[in-house]
Amino acid sequence: MARQRTGAARIPATARVPGIDSPTKLHDLSAIHPLLDHYPRQADQEGNMNLATEKLWPSNPPLDDMLKTQGEDDIDESTLPHGLTKDDLKRFLKRTLVVKRTSNMTTAGKIPSMYALVVVGNGQGIAGYGEGKDDEVARAVRKATNRAMRNLTAFDRYDDRTIYHDIDHKFHATKIQFRSRPPGFGNRCNHYIHEICSCIGILDISAKVWGSRNPMNVIKATFEAFTQKQKLPEDIARGRGKRVVDVQHTYYGASE
């Protein structure tokens, strides 16, 4: 006597979709949300579902709407320095220098999160850094990038390639020595400082890090030294009671 084969029953091509009252055949889900961009799947003569369905979005889907975090990603052009616009920010260099996992110990236990530090710059004297923390790496990097855009600072460069003079700076347990160099010398320094100089637009410089080499301290010390420790010819001339031309001739050589 032959045994009767038993198999799984065929699943009907119906589904319950949020926003639709009764279970019906698959509707056009793009009417519910633009990310659900597939047409209803069609079944062939044998009852099999056809997976080769046409898309309403032939190009990249609008993933920015999914990743956007209100309050963290909105950048007002009026808050940007130096007359920059949002279109200018798209051409900025972005360097994610630090990504690490952190934990916050509470009475309920350890709460893990991701930390990111991002440096942005246009390579022409404007740069900034920002920090972000979130449960996911992508969102933490996004928060850090937008905060870096809000913290843009203009840096003074001699001949648009190096710093005006040698700088010795201390930030907590980190000590850094910056040395201005002649044209063609290049950036011979710590790899974090190298990325920062690339974003700022400094082409010739050497640096030595002493003490703590914590990346966050190195990055913050570099920005602090470039913004607070540089003495411009105008400041030197004002303090010595001389003309700017005389100061430039004495400190930086004769210039036409």
pLDDT in tens, 5-55: 555 555 455 555 455 555 444 556 666 666 565 555 556 666 665 555 455
Helix and strand totals (H; E) in the chain: 7, 10
Residue linked to tokens 């790899």 = 191
Q: Is 122 a member of any domain?
A: yes
Q: Is 100 a member of any domain?
A: yes
Per-residue pLDDT band for 70 (boundaries 50, 70, 90) equals: very low
| pLDDT in the model for residue 208 | 96
90 and 149, same domain (yes or no) = yes
| Adjacent-strand bridge partners of 38 | 55
Q: Report the Cα–Cα distance between both ends of the chain, in Å, rounded.
A: 109
Of the candidates 206, 209, 219, 205, the residue with the CA atom closest to the CA atom of residue 174: 209
Q: Is 4 a member of any domain?
A: no
| pLDDT in the model for residue 50 | 56
143 and 178, same domain (yes or no) = no
| DSSP run (H or E) holding 142 | helix 137-150
Q: What is the CATH number of the domain that holds 180?
A: 3.30.230.10
Of the candidates 15, 21, 50, 17, the residue with the CA atom closest to the CA atom of residue 33: 17
Q: Is 142 a member of any domain?
A: yes
Q: What is the CATH number of the domain that holds 120?
A: 3.30.160.20
| Adjacent-strand bridge partners of 134 | 114
Structurally, the chain folds into a number of domains equal to 2
Q: Is 241 a member of any domain?
A: no
146 and 176, same domain (yes or no) = no
Tell me if 139 sits within 8 A of 131, measured CB to CB.
no
Q: Is 227 a member of any domain?
A: yes
For the four alpha carbons of 81, 87, 91 and 95, in that order, the dihedral sign comes to positive
Per-residue pLDDT band for 85 (boundaries 50, 70, 90) equals: confident
What number is the average pLDDT over the span 215-239?
Answer: 90
**High-pLDDT (> 70) share of the chain, %:** 66
Tell me if 167 sits within 8 A of 156, measured CB to CB.
no
Tell me if 37 sits within 8 A of 55, measured CB to CB.
yes
Residue linked to tokens 């703590």 = 212
| pLDDT in the model for residue 167 | 95
106 and 133, same domain (yes or no) = yes
Q: What is the DSSP letter of 55?
A: B
> How far, in Å, CA of 89 to CA of 79, rounded?
13
Per-residue pLDDT band for 68 (boundaries 50, 70, 90) equals: very low
149 and 190, same domain (yes or no) = no
| pLDDT in the model for residue 119 | 97
Q: Is 187 a member of any domain?
A: yes
128 and 173, same domain (yes or no) = no
Task: Find the domain containing 208 and state its range.
Answer: 167-233
Instruction: Name the percent of the chain in helix, strand, coil, to the closest 5.
Output: 30, 25, 45
Phi and psi torsions of 149, nearest 5° = -65, -35
More confident residue, 202 or 19: 202
| pLDDT in the model for residue 80 | 67
More confident residue, 151 or 68: 151
